[in-house]
Chain A
Amino acid sequence: MSADALRIALVGNPNCGKTALFNLLTGGRQKVANYAGVTIERKEGRFVAPSGRMLQILDLPGAYSFDAVSPDEQITRDVLEGNYPGEAPPDLIVCVADATNLRLHLRFLLEVRRLGRPVVLALNMMDAARRRGIVIDVAELSRRLGLPVVETVAVKRGGAQALVERVDGELPQPSPAQADDAASRADLHAQVRELLAATVRMPRQTAELDDALDRWALHPVFGLAILAVVMFLVFQAVYAAGKPMSDLIGDGFGWLGNHLATWLPAGPLQGLVTDGLCGGLGTVLGFLPEILVLFFFILVLEESGYLPRAAFLLDRLMVSVGLTGRSFIPLLSSFACAIPGIMGTRSITDPRDRLATILVAPLMTCSARLPVYALLIAAFIPSRAVLGMFNLQGLVLFALYAAGIAGAMLVGWVMKRIRRDRSEHALLMELPSYRLPKVRDVGIGLYERSMIFLKRLTGVILALTVLMWALSSFPAPPAGATGPAIDYSFAGYLGRAFAHIFALIGFNWQMSLALIPAFAARETAVAALATVYAVGGETAAGLGPALASHISLASALSLLVWFAYAPQCMSTLAVIKRETDSWRNVAISFGYMFVMAYVASFLTFQIASALA
């Protein structure tokens, strides 16, 4: 099947809408956003053209030039030149260009044309171009380039009709292949200027709206203030909007558990269903609304084109702590999960900046930590207004996120001091046009994230919860035992053994035990605590009150701080290994985070205990 499919590669400058076009053609649901470097890997999809021919579409990372400077640009160059392992060069190259920003996009097209393969130019975002009064003489452009040119609107249904018809037809004649050297490369710009002068009329160079928004968003004073307000509102909203829904889900599962308990015969099975599944998994599922609220804001920010502006505002600060403005977007996505964040560092051109970003990315509070934070904050921090407008619980949550960021800055600064390489590295970052986020894209993003969460919940978290339940329930206490049954279980012994390590930072044995499954998935700490306390018969009034009656405020704060800095989950370590191909980097990140978490929790516990 795949042998006779026509292989088509989508290429072009970053952020010209290749992936949106890919999704439109193949019905795919790949992530799209409004900044350079969203797509960092080759993605493949297929669809059947009206003629019945199978078309295989390859979506490639954006590139400015064949002189690749980052790992993602390199993939694109290798695939096009036929040097990518296990991948034949494409039969047809569709060069996607942003019609509102043709100068660099056409230059890349000219580079692609020199490969001597069949090329079609897709002028994307034609709707935006028309709105801005940009007039393109498509027929003349096609004649001068000597290749077919079609108009597309990748974000509209049917917007790729002309492209489908074109690629379904006969392959266009390739231009003669040409060698690539510095002199001919410099010449490309001159050719582009000639093309533009002859075929494109633009009323003004940049969109008026962008200029107006940038006057505020990039203003030295207002710009920073806007950034701070945006970030603060996001975290307040996570709490304000997510919490009521979480409570509803938690109550629902509590009710379900009680009902199931009356149906099922008393015994181990009843314990597993009510304590483990309803109590443990139900509690974790309850945090889905908070996670979705966080994702909603991240997706909207990504789509709007604001993130590269934030990177611009913060570049100098990030350089001073050994990072780069380009680190900003991967670090922001690490608030969702460190894994896509670490993979996103591929768009960072410089290996040194990239490694520094990878090492600090796990310090950004990922959404898997949110259930732990939310549970402990709800149980220990009173919900009261501060300064009449902020909720104290929201402020503590914000402080935990800030602690992660401050930790990352400290670590980055230390790394900068240690390393010897002081050579210069470039920023060179394009700022895209602002765009109104598309409901469909945000919807797809939220749907994908919910599915990932539910898969984790019904996979690794479920398995670990059942395991924790089994460890807490067996073996049964010996005849004549006086203490609670759980003290005699495997969990009791394991927890007490671990508690020696964590006694100094104020963790009891239940908390110490919960850290073990949390290493596989952070949220499981909540399910594990719920299970352990439920088996111990302590959660009649819910997990929060049970914790509050067994754990001191100092211990709870210490646990919160621990989760802010503790070594990340196993999957993150695995991604660090894959992305840096070095066990040494895995050991460094695990080691420094363990030490940092232990020291910070120790200080928190000791200070809080002394003050109490």
Chain B
Amino acid sequence: MRVQCEPFLFVIGSTVRLSDLPKGALAVVDRVDDAHANDPIAQRLRDLGFVDGESVQVVACAPLGADPLLIRIGFTRFALRRAEAARVAVRSEVAA
């Protein structure tokens, strides 16, 4: 289980999956990738505000298998399963 709050260092100019972001680390959304053509889940994520430049943070992980994740995006909290969070690419906040 990934439960850590140490500062997380991004390689400048690179992105990581939101599902790989350590708990507590701040990041901004880069983009949402479709898992397949016409991915309705990816479209929904975009509608819910997972768009370029939005600040995002993993706030909590559920007890069983650290899935789902509690994500703070802007000033809303969304519960996302890991597979959903994996569609979101995030980058370092400062490098935005």
Interface residues of A (CB under 8 A from B): 64-65, 67, 69, 100-101, 103-104, 107, 185-186, 189-190, 193, 202, 205-206, 210-211, 214-215, 218-221, 223-224, 308, 311-313, 315-317, 319, 325, 424, 426-431
Contact = CB atoms under 8 A, between A and B. Distances in A.
Contacts of A424: 35, 41, 83
A317 B70 contact: no
B80 interface: yes
Nearest to B40: A69
Nearest to B57: A205
B76 to A, nearest CB: 6
B25 interface: no
Contacts of B67: 315-316
A316 B76 contact: no
Contacts of A64: 44, 47-48
A515 B22 CA distance: 56
B33 interface: no
B70 A214 contact: yes
Nearest to B63: A220
A239 to B, nearest CB: 29
A218 B60 contact: yes
Given A67-B47, A220-B61, A312-B62, A427 B79 contact: yes
Given A69-B40, A315-B67, A430-B77, A103 B49 contact: yes
Contacts of B81: 315, 319, 426-427
A431 B63 contact: no
Contacts of A189: 49, 51, 54
Given A104-B76, A202-B75, A220-B3, A426 B49 contact: no
Contacts of B83: 424
Contacts of B79: 308, 311-312, 315, 325, 427-431
Contacts of B66: 220
Nearest to B42: A426
Given A186-B51, A426-B44, A313 B62 contact: yes
A220 B46 contact: no
Contacts of B48: 64-65, 104, 428
A312 B60 CA distance: 10
Which 6 A-B pairs have CB atoms at the shortest separation, nearest pair first?
A316-B64, A220-B63, A65-B47, A431-B77, A218-B60, A205-B75
A386 to B, nearest CB: 28
A427 B68 contact: yes
Nearest to B1: A220
A137 to B, nearest CB: 17
A224 B76 contact: no
B24 to A, nearest CB: 11
For A65, A185, A218, A427, the residue with the greatest tally of chain B CB atoms inside 10 Å of its CB is A427
B36 to A, nearest CB: 9
Contact of B44 (A219, A311, A428): A428
Interface in B6-65: 35, 40-41, 43-49, 51, 53-55, 59-65
Nearest to A193: B53
A220 B62 CA distance: 6
A218 B70 contact: yes
Given A104-B48, A189-B51, A315-B81, 20 more contacts: A64-B44, A65-B47, A101-B76, A104-B49, A202-B75, A205-B55, A206-B77, A218-B59, A220-B1, A220-B62, A220-B63, A312-B68, A312-B79, A316-B63, A424-B41, A424-B83, A426-B41, A426-B81, A427-B79, A430-B79
Contact of B68 (A100, A103, A107, A315): A315
A205 B80 contact: no
A431 B72 CA distance: 10
Contact of B78 (A205, A223, A428): A428
B22 to A, nearest CB: 15
A428 B72 CA distance: 12
A456 to B, nearest CB: 37
Contacts of B75: 100-101, 103, 202, 205-206
B93 interface: no
23 contacts: A64-B47, A65-B47, A69-B44, A100-B75, A103-B76, A185-B46, A186-B51, A189-B49, A190-B51, A202-B75, A205-B72, A205-B75, A214-B60, A220-B3, A315-B79, A325-B68, A424-B41, A427-B68, A427-B79, A427-B84, A428-B41, A428-B84, A430-B79
B45 to A, nearest CB: 7
A309 to B, nearest CB: 9
Contacts of A224: 63
Contacts of B60: 214-215, 218-219
Contacts of A65: 44, 47-48
A67 B44 contact: yes
Given A205-B75, A220-B1, A317-B64, A428 B70 contact: no
Nearest to A223: B63
B9 to A, nearest CB: 23
Nearest to B3: A220
A206 B71 CA distance: 12
